[in-house]
Structure 1
Amino acid sequence: MTKDTRRSLLVLSGGHPYEEEPFAALIQFLGRELGGLAKVTWDVEHLIHPDAEEAVAGGAAEEADALLFYDMGGYTFGDGTVTSRPPSEGFKAAVRRRFASGKGAVAIHHALAGWAEWPEWAEMLGGRFFYQPGQWQGRAVPDSGYRHDVSYEARVVASHPVTEGLPESFPVTDELYLCQIDESAVHPLIRARHDFTRDNFYSAASAVAGAMFSREGWEHAEGSNLVAWWRQVDKAPLVYCQFGDGPETYSNPHVQRVLVNALRFTSGDTP
Structure 2
Amino acid sequence: MQKLLLLIALCVFSLSVKAETIKVMLVTGGHSFDTLQFFQLFDEFDGIEYEHFAQPEANRQIALGKADEFDVLVFYDMWQNISLEERTAYLRLAQEGKPFLFLHHALVSYQAWPEFESIIGGKYVQEGKNVEKDMLSTYEHDVWVYCRIENYTPVTNGFRELRFFDEVYGNVQISDKVKPLLSTTHPNSMPYVAWENHFRNSTVLYIQPGHDKRTYVEKDYRKLLFQAIHYLAKK
Is structure 2 residue 51 aligned with structure 1 residue 51? no
Q: CA deviation at 1:104?
A: 0.8
After superposition, the C-alpha distances for 1:136-188 in whole angstroms (9 at most, x for unaligned) are 8xx8853210000111211111111110122x112111100013232512100
Q: CA deviation at 1:123?
A: 1.6
Query: In structure 2, the residue corresponding to 1:52 is in which secondary structure?
Result: helix
- 2:73 is matched with 67
Which 4+ residue blocks in structure 1 deviate beyond 6 angstroms? none
Q: CA deviation at 1:130?
A: 1.8
Q: Distance in 2 between matches of 1:242 and 1:152?
A: 11
Superposed, 1:196-215 pairs within 5 Å as 196=188
Which deviates more, 175-184 or 98-107? 175-184
- 1:248 is matched with 214
AA in 1 matched with 2:27: L
Conservation of the 8 A alpha-carbon contact between 1:105 and 1:267: no
- 1:163 is matched with 156
Which deviates more, 106-115 or 58-67? 58-67
Is structure 2 residue 200 aligned with structure 1 residue 234? yes
Q: Which segments of 5 or more consecutive residues in structure 2 lack a partner in the other structure?
A: 1-15
Conservation of the 8 A alpha-carbon contact between 2:169 and 2:190: no
Task: State the structure with more CA Rg.
Answer: 2
Give the alignment partner of residue 18 of structure 1, picking from 25, 33, 37. 33
Q: Do the aligned partners of residues 185 and 134 (structure 1) sit closer, same or farther apart at CA in structure 2, a change above 3 Å counting?
A: farther
- 1:205 is matched with none
Query: Number of matched residues?
Result: 219
Conservation of the 8 A alpha-carbon contact between 2:125 and 2:135: yes
- Cα RMSD for the two superposed structures: 2.1
Query: In structure 1, the residue corresponding to 2:227 is in which secondary structure?
Result: helix
Q: Distance in 1 between matches of 2:53 and 2:225?
A: 18
Q: CA deviation at 1:91?
A: 1.7
Conservation of the 8 A alpha-carbon contact between 1:132 and 1:143: yes
Q: Do the aligned partners of residues 93 and 63 (structure 1) sit closer, same or farther apart at CA in structure 2, a change above 3 Å counting?
A: farther
Q: Do the aligned partners of residues 107 and 140 (structure 1) sit closer, same or farther apart at CA in structure 2, a change above 3 Å counting?
A: same
- 2:106 is matched with 111
Q: CA deviation at 1:117?
A: 1.4
Which deviates more, 55-64 or 244-253? 55-64
Is structure 2 residue 160 aligned with structure 1 residue 194? no
Q: CA deviation at 1:6?
A: 4.2
Conservation of the 8 A alpha-carbon contact between 1:134 and 1:143: no
Q: CA deviation at 1:18?
A: 0.7
After superposition, the C-alpha distances for 1:89-113 in whole angstroms (9 at most, x for unaligned) are 2221221122211221100100000
AA in 2 matched with 1:159: Y
AA in 1 matched with 2:155: V
Q: Which segments of 5 or more consecutive residues in structure 1 lack a partner in the other structure?
A: 36-41, 75-84, 197-222
Q: CA deviation at 1:134?
A: 6.1
- 1:153 is matched with 146
Q: Do the aligned partners of residues 69 and 95 (structure 1) sit closer, same or farther apart at CA in structure 2, a change above 3 Å counting?
A: same
- 1:29 is matched with 44
Percent of aligned positions that are identical: 28
Conservation of the 8 A alpha-carbon contact between 1:61 and 1:94: no
- 2:3 is matched with none
Q: Do the aligned partners of residues 249 and 100 (structure 1) sit closer, same or farther apart at CA in structure 2, a change above 3 Å counting?
A: same
Q: CA deviation at 1:126?
A: 1.5
Q: Distance in 1 between matches of 2:78 and 2:124?
A: 11
Q: Distance in 1 between matches of 2:21 and 2:154?
A: 22
AA in 2 matched with 1:132: E
Q: Distance in 2 between matches of 1:98 and 1:44?
A: 18
Query: In structure 2, the residue corresponding to 1:107 is in which secondary structure?
Result: strand
Superposed, 1:72-87 pairs within 5 Å as 72-74=78-80, 85=81, 87=82
What TM-score does the superposition give when structure 1 sets the normalisation length? 0.75
